């Protein structure tokens, strides 16, 4: 949850910023297209006024048509209708150019030549209008290019910011995903390890089972053989455990097994390994231990059982078999030998200890 919240906030911030910047970039691109269209419309209108003025001026008053005058009037009206939000409004209505007034004067003069002032003529008005239109077209181009340059700069800046935030988003998400995958892999490995340990351990006594014993025994036998050191296997079972279960109940029997396992484990050395190999049967794998020391350990366990409050009330007794590892033995043969020794201890009586002796050749 901590990782999710730490990564969630930057992602929640970055994604809206990318969205806003993208919308802004689209808006600016749309603005460029609109401005280009406006430029084309205004230039076309000015060029039409210019060409119509020359066409009208080139005709005699008798050959001029009302259609030409009406067309010019519509073009002038189109210029006058340009709104203030249009970026070319200021250029068209500049006082120093006086474009619209000059065009209207030309229109009036073309319709009523008698209204022309003495110092002016239709040709003079045409030339003046042409000069103003040319200056206006130049100024419009300058205005458009300046506006376009600023807009393109903003567009590029926004695109760069979008790229930066996309990279940040990628690396943040990528780093998070990598950490998450590593975490999931570690959790998976940990879960597998726990499952493996649980499958290898007895749930009642929390001791490793028969499979784990054979794995451990093979390693210890190999070590003992390599270094010619002592290794003994001690096998124990609770005398008449079946009768105890029948008399006191399975719940009490389970309690005895768990208590016995804790008691023995608490009194073993660090290198010793303790296993439950089935029912009421337990084995101790004791490296660097002789048969004599193993017998002493078995007697010690029997004394602990007698003194323990939980087990002494039931008169619990432990039968023990002991077998020593010799050159060439395996975990299977060692288990067979210690089982044979345990059988001998039961024949001798409850609470007895027996050491396996190889039969004479």
Whether residue 215 sits in one domain with residue 161: no
What is the C-alpha separation between 321 and 356, in angstroms, rounded?
7
User: Looking at the whole model, is its pTM more than 0.75?
Assistant: no
CATH number of the CATH domain containing 340: 3.30.70.270
- The domain total for the chain is 2
- The more confidently predicted of residues 319 and 179 is 319
The string of pLDDT tens digits covering residues 342-353 is 999 999 998 899
Domain assignment of residue 7, yes or no: yes
The string of pLDDT tens digits covering residues 39-52 is 898 889 889 988 88
What is the C-alpha separation between 271 and 230, in angstroms, rounded?
13
Q: Are 231 and 221 in contact (CB under 8 A)?
A: yes
Whether residue 150 sits in one domain with residue 32: yes
Whether residue 288 sits in one domain with residue 170: no
Q: Which of 177, 202, 230 is the last residue of a domain?
A: 177
The string of pLDDT tens digits covering residues 125-162 is 888 888 888 988 888 888 888 888 888 888 889 899 88
Domain assignment of residue 190, yes or no: no
Q: Are 314 and 234 in contact (CB under 8 A)?
A: no
- Structure-token match 């911030």, residue found: 13
The string of pLDDT tens digits covering residues 187-224 is 888 877 766 665 567 888 889 988 889 999 999 999 99
Residue 66 structural domain: 2-177
Whether residue 30 sits in one domain with residue 163: yes
From 56-65, 107-116, 295-304, 344-353, the region with the lowest mean pLDDT = 56-65
Q: Which of 177, 202, 226 is the last residue of a domain?
A: 177
Give yes or no for residue 61 having a pLDDT over 70. Answer: no
Average pLDDT over residues 296-317: 83
Q: Are 314 and 291 in contact (CB under 8 A)?
A: no
Whether residue 129 sits in one domain with residue 48: yes
**pLDDT at residue 285, rounded to an integer:** 95
What is the C-alpha separation between 291 and 325, in angstroms, rounded?
10
Closest CA to 40 of 140, 151, 148: 140
Give yes or no for residue 184 having a pLDDT over 50. Answer: yes
Domain assignment of residue 187, yes or no: no
Domain assignment of residue 194, yes or no: no
């Amino acid at each position: 949850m901590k990782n999710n919240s730490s990564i969630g906030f930057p992602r929640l911030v970055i994604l809206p910023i990318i969205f806003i910047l993208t919308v802004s970039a689209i808006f600016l691109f749309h603005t460029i297209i609109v401005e280009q269209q406006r430029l084309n419309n205004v230039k076309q209108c000015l060029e039409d006024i210019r060409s119509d003025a020359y066409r009208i001026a080139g005709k005699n008053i008798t050959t001029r048509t009302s259609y030409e005058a009406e067309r010019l009037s519509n073009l002038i009206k189109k210029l006058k209708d340009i709104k203030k939000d249009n970026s070319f409004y200021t250029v068209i209505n500049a006082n120093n150019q006086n474009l619209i007034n000059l065009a209207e004067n030309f229109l009036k003069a073309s319709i009523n030549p008698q209204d022309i002032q003495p110092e002016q003529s239709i040709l003079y008005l045409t030339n003046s209008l042409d000069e103003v239109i040319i200056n206006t077209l130049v100024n419009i181009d300058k205005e458009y290019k300046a506006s376009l340059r600023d807009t393109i700069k903003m567009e590029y800046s926004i695109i760069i910011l979008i790229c930066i935030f996309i990279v940040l988003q990628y690396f943040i998400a990528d780093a998070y995903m990598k950490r998450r995958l590593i975490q999931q892999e570690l959790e998976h490995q940990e879960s597998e390890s726990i499952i493996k340990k649980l499958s290898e351990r007895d749930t009642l006594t929390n001791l490793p089972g028969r499979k784990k014993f054979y794995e451990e025994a093979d390693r210890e036998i190999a070590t003992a053989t390599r270094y010619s050191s002592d290794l003994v296997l001690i096998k124990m079972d609770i005398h008449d455990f079946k009768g105890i279960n029948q008399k006191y109940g399975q719940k009490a029997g389970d309690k005895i097994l768990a208590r016995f396992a804790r008691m023995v484990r608490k009194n073993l050395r660090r290198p010793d390994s303790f296993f439950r190999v089935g029912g009421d049967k337990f084995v101790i794998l004791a490296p660097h231990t002789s048969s004599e020391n193993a017998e002493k350990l078995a007697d010690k366990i029997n004394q602990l059982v007698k003194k323990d409050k939980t087990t002494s009330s039931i008169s619990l007794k432990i039968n023990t078999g002991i077998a020593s590892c010799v050159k060439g033995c395996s975990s299977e043969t060692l288990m067979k030998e210690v089982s044979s020794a345990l059988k001998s201890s039961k024949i001798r009586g409850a609470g007895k200890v027996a050491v396996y002796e190889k039969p004479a050749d």
